[in-house]
């Protein structure tokens, strides 16, 4: 029996690796032959160094991630982007064939020389624009300060989406369910959970709360689109 090609797939988190909670939905769609690696922008750094080098800056774009001990951390998107660029260069030099970002933030300056670069931001917006064309969409982001940037990111959707916030790293999913129900009560027909931190657990929590509208998570979308390319 002829075997398919063997690919080295490296998952990059903007926090500390590994993040199987972010990559599991994608890994489930990859061929068994894929070699999986993980790396993170904040690997090896203590919280004080993280805040000094990558801390959020008032008035600038922010991102939310998690440290190895599970504690959430708010980061400045500009510094993270520079860190990601260096990390992409490193993992490609180490043999990555496919580099998958575990973040839905926009990083327009990222490039690879040889490896395929998978950016959930582009895949998610493209998929939602096609699959939910004409539907009223409710978009959930982790932090209130991310809403303005999200409005720009999703500006191509028509009708314009409504936005709400709920952290994927909260101790329970009550706030997410409440935020989702508020969007649906206001007329949304589907939900987009716009952060890689949202996953199967969050979709199950919505279903358990009686919310039956479609709820798209980035990992599920990326896995469904990437898997067939590597088979």
Supply the CATH number for residue 80's domain: 3.40.50
Domain that holds residue 156: 123-217
Under the banding of pLDDT at 50, 70 and 90, the label for residue 3 is low
87 and 47 fall within a common domain: yes
The reply to whether 113 and 224 lie within a common domain is yes
Residues 111 and 225 in one domain: yes
| Confidence bin at 1 (pLDDT 50/70/90) | very low
Q: Is residue 2 included in any domain, yes or no?
A: no
39 vs 101: CA distance, rounded Å: 10
Could you give the CA distance from residue 215 to residue 212 in angstroms, rounded to a whole number? 8
Assign 4 a pLDDT band (cuts: 50, 70, 90). Answer: low
Q: For the segment 51-99, what is each residue's pLDDT rounded down to a tens digit?
A: 999 999 999 999 999 999 999 999 999 999 999 999 999 999 999 999 9
Per-residue pLDDT reduced to its tens digit, 8-17: 999 999 999 9
Tens digit of each residue's pLDDT (9 = 90 or more) over 106-164? 998 899 999 999 999 999 999 999 999 999 999 999 999 999 999 999 999 999 999 99
Domain count, the chain: 2
Check if the beta carbon of residue 157 is closer than 8 Å to that of residue 129.
Answer: yes
Classify burial at 16, counting beta carbons within 10 Å of its beta carbon; exposed 0-12, middle 13-18, buried 19 or more: buried
Q: Encoding tokens for residue 175?
A: 């706030």
Percent of the chain with pLDDT over 70: 98
| 76 & 94 share domain | yes
C-alpha–C-alpha distance, residues 23 and 37, integer Å: 11
Q: Is the pLDDT of residue 214 over 80?
A: yes
Supply the mean pLDDT for the chain: 95
pLDDT at residue 152, as a whole number:
95
Residues 67 and 43 in one domain: yes
153 and 107 part of one domain:
no
Residue 3 lies in a domain: no
Instruction: Classify residue 1: in a domain, yes or no.
Output: no
């Amino acid at each position: 029996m002829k075997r398919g090609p063997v690919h080295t797939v490296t998952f990059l988190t903007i926090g500390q690796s590994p993040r199987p909670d972010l990559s599991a939905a994608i890994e489930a769609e990859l061929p068994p032959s894929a070699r999986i690696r993980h790396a993170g922008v904040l690997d090896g750094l203590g919280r004080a160094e993280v805040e000094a080098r990558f801390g959020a800056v008032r008035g600038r774009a922010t991102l939310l991630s998690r440290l190895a001990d599970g504690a959430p951390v708010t980061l400045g998107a500009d510094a993270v982007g520079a860190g990601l660029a260096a990390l992409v260069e490193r993992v490609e030099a180490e043999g990555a064939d496919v580099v998958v970002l575990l973040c839905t933030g926009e990083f327009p300056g990222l490039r690879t020389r040889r490896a395929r670069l998978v950016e959930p931001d582009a895949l998610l917006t493209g998929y939602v624009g096609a699959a939910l064309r004409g539907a009223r969409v409710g978009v959930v982001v982790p932090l209130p300060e991310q809403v303005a940037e999200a409005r720009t990111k999703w500006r191509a959707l028509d009708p314009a989406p409504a936005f709400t916030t709920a952290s994927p790293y909260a101790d329970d999913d009550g706030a997410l369910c409440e935020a989702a129900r508020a969007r649906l009560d206001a007329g949304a027909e589907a939900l987009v959970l716009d952060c890689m931190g949202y996953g199967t657990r969050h979709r199950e929590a919505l279903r358990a709360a009686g919310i039956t509208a479609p709820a798209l998570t980035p990992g599920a979308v990326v896995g469904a689109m990437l898997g067939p390319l590597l088979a």
